[in-house]
Structure 1
C-alpha cells in the first residue's frame, strides 16, 4: 500500500504577484504530487475562507505563511501514514480538523492544496493521468471553452459594469478547433480595438481592458471581432457573460447601480428585465451571476424569463457549495453551476457539487480564478467530471494557456474516444 510519507507546503506567487500556497505530497514510494492554489479578485460572501497573514508590512497583508504553517504542522501530523488513495477520508479528516463552517481555522487554501496534491500523487501511483484517475473510464468529454476576451467590472479600469465578455465557439468539432476559433476572435478583437484607437492592454485573465464607454459598446466590439474572424455570431460562436453584479448591488436598498457606466439604478425586477432584453437583442447563450448572490427573488424572476432559452450560471450564488446548490435546485433557480475548487476547498466536495448538479439536470462549468499559477489541475478535472465547459481566461498569459495546452494533450491522449459536445454542451 502506498502511504503518505511527507507533506510540505511553501509560499509562492500567483499571476498577480500575490502569495499563494503550493503543496508537495510525497508517498512511501517516493512519488511526488504537487498542487498550487488559485485566488479570486471578486469573491462571493459565502466562499470558504482563504487564510491570509494580514501582516501589513509583508506583501500588503496578503502573505500565506499561516496557511503554510498549518499544512506543515497541523495537517501533516494528521495525514502522514494514511493511504494516498483514501481521498474522501483525507479530505474529511482535514475538514474535521479545521472544525469551522467555512474552513477559516486552517484555511481553505491550506486544505485545498493538500487535497489536490494528494490526488495528483495517487494518480501517479496508479500510473494514470489525473483526469483518468479521478473520472474513471467515463472521462472522455472535452469542454467547450468560455474564452474571456474583454473585461470590465472589478477586472478593469473602464466604463464597463460587467466583468467578462466571453466567446463560446460551439460550432467546432473538436476542442482544438474551438480553441483555434476563440484565439482567432481574440486576435481580431485586438485589431478592432486598435482601429478604434483603444488600448489593447490585457487584464488579470488575459482579456482586453479598453476604455470603452458603455456595456453596449463592449458587446458590439465582440460581435465585430467574431465577424472579422470569419465566424457567424449566433451560429458558430455565441457570447457568454459573467456580469458579477453582486459587485454593484446594495442589499439595503435592493438596487443595482451601474457605477462605472451611466449611473442608472435598477430594481431587482428591472435588472432581470434588462437581461431578458439583452438575450433578445444579442446572441447570448450564457449569463453568470446576472443577479446578486443573495437576491433569490431576482434570480427566480430571471430564471422564469430566460431560463428555458439560455444557461444561467450561479457562481457567487452557489460558491461550489452543495447546501446552497440544493437550495437553488429546490427553488428552481438558475440552471448551471460554476465550479471553483477553492470556493469550497477540497476535491471531494468539488466532486459532490458537480454530481449533485448533474443529477438535478443542471450543467457545470470548471473555472479558474483571476489569480492563477502554472498549475493546470482544473483542465484534468473538467474532463474527469465531464463538465462539458471550462472557463480559464483568454488566449494570452501563460497561466491561462497552461490549462488550454493541457486540454490539447488530453484530447490527443484520448484519441478516437474523445468527445467534444459543441452545441450540446
Structure 2
C-alpha cells in the first residue's frame, strides 16, 4: 500500500496465516447472515435470540449488551502528523454504564479535546477510516497527555471512571529491510527498543490497560518480554482474522471480521477460550468510506454473548447506525425484563476497576448468594453479617459457608 505526502513510502506487511476459503467468496458472510435472519423470522423470534439458541442449543432468558470500546482519536501512519505508532486511542468505559451514557461521555470528551487543540492551533484536519478524528502528533505521549487534560477538565477520573486501550498496529510499521519499526516519520526502533518505549509510556500513563498488536506476530521474544514486564497491569491483545495461535505474551484475540466470516464461524469463535471481542471492518474501510456493511450487527454481538464490541469512532452514518441499534436493543431488553449485566470484565488488567475494601467485597458476595434464591435471600438479609445464620436449612447453611470461605480467601 502506498501513502502520499511526507510519509510517502511503501511498506511490505508480513503475511498473516489466513483461514482457507473459496476464491471470490466475499458474499459468504452476507448469505450466512441472511439465512440466520430467515430462521429468526420463521420462528418469530429476534435475531439475537436465534443466534443465542444456536450457540447454546437451548433457550436463553437473559442477555447483556457488550461494552462499547470507542475510538477517540487516530494517530497512525495515515494521520497528518509524524507519529505512526498509535493507530487508535480507544476509550474503555467503566463497566455498568449504558450505551447511551458511553456515547454521551465520549462526545463530551471529544468536544473538550477539540477545544484544547483549537486553542493550541493544532486542530483536526480529517476524519480517519476508523470513524475518529485524525490528529497531528509527533510523539506517542502527546495524544495521551491531551486525553488526560480533557478528562481532568471534565472531572472524569482517568483510571477509575474510564481507561484507555492503544491499537499500535505495529505490523504495519515494520521496515523489513532494517528489521525495525518506524514509530514516527524518520524514527526507527528495534523490537527491544519498542519494549522499552511501551514500558515508559505505561509508567507515565497507568490508565492505559490494553495494548493491541504492540509487535508483529513473529516477534515472539518481545511479546513475552513485554508481557513479563507489564502483564500484571496491562493486557496484550492480538488482532486476527481467524482464531490462530496466540503470540507468546498475548492474552486474548480481537477478531477482525471479514466478508467470509459466517454465523457458524462466529459461534465457534465466540466459544473459543481466547476470543475477546469482535471488530467490524468493512472492506472499503481502509479508504475511509461507509459501505452500509452488516458484517457485525449489534443483534449478532448480543446473541453471541460478547463482553465487548469495537465499532470504531462516532463519525459516519454506518457506525452511528450501529451505536443507535445497540441503544435500542438495550432499551428493548430492559422493557422485556431480560436485560442482564455483569459485575466484572474478563481482561486481567481490568481488575483495577474493583479495588474494593473488605466490607464492600463481603457485601458483594453477600448479595451474590442472596440473589441465588429469593426466599433464602430474604432470610439471610435479616441476619447480622458478623455471625452465621442460625437456620436449619442445609442449602442456606452451605451458601453461608461458601461465602465465609470466599471472604477468607479474598483476605489472604
If the length of structure 1 is used for normalisation, what is the TM-score?
0.68
Q: Give me the whole-angstrom Cα distance separating, in 1, the residues matched to 2:194 and 2:80.
A: 23
1:144 aligns with 2:74: no
Deviations 1:366-423 (A, max 9, x none): 2122624334543222222222111111122111111111111111111143234475
Q: CA deviation at 1:198?
A: 2.2
Q: CA deviation at 1:340?
A: 2.3
Q: CA deviation at 1:106?
A: 2.7
* Counterpart residue number, 1:130: 47
Q: Report matched runs for 1:129-278 at 5 Å.
A: 129-136=46-53, 137=60, 140-161=63-84, 162-170=86-94, 172-200=96-124, 201-251=126-176, 253-260=178-185, 263-278=186-201
- After superposition, the Cα gap between the structure-2 partners of 1:141 and 1:424, relative to the gap in structure 1 and judged at 3 Å, is same
Q: CA deviation at 1:121?
A: 2.2
1:392 aligns with 2:311: yes
Q: CA deviation at 1:231?
A: 0.8
1:103 aligns with 2:21: yes
Q: CA deviation at 1:336?
A: 1.6
Q: Give me the whole-angstrom Cα distance separating, in 2, the residues matched to 1:234 and 1:363.
A: 25
> In the alignment, is the contact (CA less than 8 A) between 1:147 and 1:394 conserved in 2?
yes
Indicate the SS of the match to 1:364.
strand
Deviations 1:199-255 (A, max 9, x none): 333222221112223221111112222223331100101111111010112345432
* Counterpart residue number, 1:7: none
The count of corresponding residues between Structure 1 and Structure 2 is 317
> In the alignment, is the contact (CA less than 8 A) between 1:367 and 1:378 conserved in 2?
no
> In the alignment, is the contact (CA less than 8 A) between 2:27 and 2:260 conserved in 1?
no
Q: CA RMSD in A?
A: 2.6
Q: CA deviation at 1:299?
A: 1.8
Consecutive unaligned residues of structure 2, counting only runs of 5 or more, are: 1-11, 54-59, 347-412
Consecutive unaligned residues of structure 1, counting only runs of 5 or more, are: 1-41, 49-100
1:46 aligns with 2:16: yes
Q: Give me the whole-angstrom Cα distance separating, in 1, the residues matched to 2:45 and 2:109.
A: 35
* Counterpart residue number, 1:374: 292
Q: CA deviation at 1:194?
A: 1.7
1:348 aligns with 2:264: yes
Q: CA deviation at 1:125?
A: 2.1
Q: CA deviation at 1:364?
A: 0.8
Q: Give me the whole-angstrom Cα distance separating, in 2, the residues matched to 1:280 and 1:124.
A: 52
- After superposition, the Cα gap between the structure-2 partners of 1:43 and 1:193, relative to the gap in structure 1 and judged at 3 Å, is farther
Q: Give me the whole-angstrom Cα distance separating, in 2, the residues matched to 1:202 and 1:291.
A: 26
Deviations 1:161-207 (A, max 9, x none): 12001111215532332222222212222222222212333222221
- After superposition, the Cα gap between the structure-2 partners of 1:151 and 1:332, relative to the gap in structure 1 and judged at 3 Å, is same
- After superposition, the Cα gap between the structure-2 partners of 1:353 and 1:212, relative to the gap in structure 1 and judged at 3 Å, is same
Name which one, 1 or 2, has greater alpha-carbon Rg. Answer: 2
- After superposition, the Cα gap between the structure-2 partners of 1:128 and 1:217, relative to the gap in structure 1 and judged at 3 Å, is same
Indicate the SS of the match to 1:117.
helix
Indicate the SS of the match to 2:89.
strand
> In the alignment, is the contact (CA less than 8 A) between 1:192 and 1:225 conserved in 2?
yes
Indicate the SS of the match to 1:417.
coil
Indicate the SS of the match to 1:339.
strand
Q: Give me the whole-angstrom Cα distance separating, in 1, the residues matched to 2:220 and 2:324.
A: 38
Q: CA deviation at 1:280?
A: 2.0
